[in-house]
Amino acid sequence: MKKSHKIIVGIILLVVILLYYFFVHPTLNIQSFTGLWFIVSLLVLLFLYTLYIRTLANSVIISKIQKVLVSLVFLLIVGGALGFLFSSKIFHAKLYSKRINVEQVEFSNKTIHDVDFTKTPILDRKSTEKLGDKVMGDMPELVSQFEVSDEYTQISYKNSVYRVTPLEYAGFFKYFTNRSEGIPAYIIVNSTNGKTQLVKLKDLGLDGMKYVPSAYFGENLQRRLQLKYPTKIFGTPSFEIDEKGHPYYICTTYGYYGVNSKQYVNGMVLFDPITGDSKKYDVGHFPKWVDRIYPESLIMNEVDDNGSLKNGFLNSIIGQKNVTVTSDGYNYLEKDGDIWIYSGITSANKDTSNLGFVLTNLRTHRTLKFACSGADEQAAMASAEGEVKNYGYDATFPLLVNVAGHPVYLLSLKDSGGLVKMYAMVDAKDYQSVTVVSADSYNNLDLLKKQYIANLAGESGESVKGKLSKATIVVNSVNFMTIDGKTKAYIVDDKGLRYKIEATNTNEDILAFMHTGDKYEIEYLKSDDIQIIKSIKKN
């Protein structure tokens, strides 16, 4: 009878452990906190079971097993704590700063192509979600059974930029009603013009998606993924489509240095939600059509570490000498068929100015940094809102684009209902220079670009050649004039060439003390008449 009790309790314990593992599916990897605590909990349960059976049968073997279990639990807890501590930023600041390789480059047409509005994601996430909900509402046969996922992954697709999101089961009972057919469609929204389409998989000759995050039991995507790759550490899968429209989930895998410290991407699993098949890829061998492997949050952390930990951990907290961080927000750019994440770089005190910009490829991890001082995104947004303050419009977080070789913030202005009413361009170096147009036509973006370039010239009738040129000039004469409330300096150099520059808060000290014979380094736009200086510093 006592022996049967031991067997029954053992079987119950085993069933509980297996059920827990099936439903919770923790990773079996001690580098992850969840994996470490699952293994520790498992060993503790086994130890308690040995205590139970030892009261029934005092065994030398069981006593030895208990000692081994206690030793393992102790080693895992202490080793995990020490591993987390000694692999942290406190001891490895410079190693953390190097987990992303930042290339210093100049802002030019080679590094960022001149803005192409057919590939510029002007539509922000909130507007995209409204369009997705609207197209779903037009499908009564689907809206009662499925919901629109809030994923909306930014992708490069068919030579343009889109956001794509799947449908998902509208609850447990709707899953059972529809599981045999699976999820029948996904939504795709063009981020340049707002054209929205609900793509039915049967129209592509495909079956429904059965292995998705909103499914249950063995058809749940995360469960199926973790059970097939039990030692892999996964994040949240992202939904994408290939160039033929076939849906996939991009499942990034991670590693750590130590325990849950210094996270890095070590691979990717490409998961087919229709068949449940998957394929593992190593870093450097990802398919070209895949756009989002490195998550935005990880990239922002890596860039922050790169800018703050180069001179040690204590300096990042106390002295903060040469410490830089990313600005409050990010956006996306399309470049050479890939999606890049963009953010400003500012000082540790997070004032209203940027020291430069950083771009990171979400597929390859390549990172470019532009040293370009100017206003931060929040200042640009406030400046654009001030330009139309009588309407009370709110600005969206801007995009960084290249206009005539010049870094420019491109943003939308919305009314209280969330509808885009205007587009704006704000000079990234001088946020007081703002150009706005109505958003009643998509073609107005081209008009916005033309007006902005004309404003660079100072007069709309002046012919401007967009590429910035550099020169060193010696001042022969300088005169100041105030036109429409703006002060401009008119300069003639020792060669008789004529220039003009508008006084701003970034150059006023230079212009105020300019004298004949002074030498300056300038960047300027070529014009048919007077050259337009965009930046100036004393040689």
Supply the pLDDT for residue 457.
Answer: 60
- pLDDT reading at 80 higher than 90: no
Task: Encode burial over 436-464: b for 16+ CB neighbours within 10 A, e otherwise.
Answer: bbebeeeebbeebbebbbbbbbbeeebeb
Q: How confident is the model at residue 467 (pLDDT cuts 50, 70, 90)?
A: low
Instruction: Give mean pLDDT, residues 161-190.
Output: 94
- pLDDT reading at 78 higher than 60: yes
The token pair at 204 is: 């592509």
- C-alpha span between 175 and 218 (Å, rounded): 13
Kindly give the pairing relationship between strand 185-190 and strand 160-169: antiparallel
**Terminal-to-terminal C-alpha distance of the chain:** 96
Partner residues linked to 239 by β-bridges: 249
Kindly give the pairing relationship between strand 367-375 and strand 353-361: antiparallel
- pLDDT reading at 334 higher than 50: yes
Phi-psi region of 97 (alpha: psi -120 to 50; beta: other; left: phi over 0): alpha
- pLDDT reading at 49 higher than 90: no
Q: How confident is the model at residue 535 (pLDDT cuts 50, 70, 90)?
A: confident
With a pLDDT cut of 70, the percent of the chain lying above it is: 95
Q: Are 221 and 236 in contact (CB under 8 A)?
A: no
User: Over the stretch 99-113, which tens digit does the pLDDT of each residue have?
Assistant: 999 999 988 888 888
The token pair at 145 is: 């059974």
Kindly give the pairing relationship between strand 331-335 and strand 338-347: antiparallel
Supply the pLDDT for residue 474.
Answer: 95
Mean pLDDT over the full length of the chain:
88
208-217, 265-274, 469-478, 527-536: least confidently modelled range: 527-536
User: Over the stretch 296-305, which tens digit does the pLDDT of each residue have?
Assistant: 999 999 999 9
Q: How confident is the model at residue 161 (pLDDT cuts 50, 70, 90)?
A: very high
Q: How far is CA 491 from the centre of its chain?
A: 44
Instruction: Name the residue among 43, 41, 44, 63 with its Cα closest to residue 53.
Output: 63
- Residue whose entry in the numeric block shows the structure tokens 């290339």: 103
- C-alpha span between 258 and 86 (Å, rounded): 8
57-66, 133-142, 330-339, 504-513: least confidently modelled range: 57-66
- pLDDT reading at 356 higher than 90: no
Supply the pLDDT for residue 462.
Answer: 46
- C-alpha span between 345 and 324 (Å, rounded): 6
Supply the pLDDT for residue 88.
Answer: 87
Burial (CB count <10 Å: 0-12, 13-18, 19+), residue 244: exposed
Supply the pLDDT for residue 186.
Answer: 96
Phi, psi of 488 (to 5 degrees): -125, 140
User: Over the stretch 382-437, which tens digit does the pLDDT of each residue have?
Assistant: 999 988 888 889 999 999 999 888 889 999 999 988 889 999 999 888 888 888 88
Supply the pLDDT for residue 208.
Answer: 96
Helix (H, G, I), strand (E, B) or coil at 303: helix
Supply the pLDDT for residue 298.
Answer: 95
191-205, 414-428, 477-491: least confidently modelled range: 477-491
71-75, 188-192, 359-363: least confidently modelled range: 71-75
The token pair at 32 is: 């992850």
Q: Are 524 and 531 in contact (CB under 8 A)?
A: yes
Residue 357 CB partners (closer than 8 Å, separation 6+)? 107, 342, 343, 344, 345, 369, 370, 372, 400, 407, 428
- pLDDT reading at 460 higher than 60: no
Supply the pLDDT for residue 111.
Answer: 86
Supply the pLDDT for residue 198.
Answer: 95
Higher pLDDT, 463 or 335: 335
- pLDDT reading at 461 higher than 70: no
Instruction: Give mean pLDDT, residues 103-131.
Output: 90
- pLDDT reading at 10 higher than 90: no
Higher pLDDT, 56 or 160: 160
Phi, psi of 533 (to 5 degrees): -80, 130
Instruction: Give mean pLDDT, residues 4-27.
Output: 87
Instruction: Give mean pLDDT, residues 192-212.
Output: 95
Task: Say how many C-beta atoms besides its own lie within 10 A of residue 177's C-beta.
Answer: 12
Global pTM value:
0.81
- C-alpha span between 340 and 337 (Å, rounded): 10
Partner residues linked to 368 by β-bridges: 103, 359
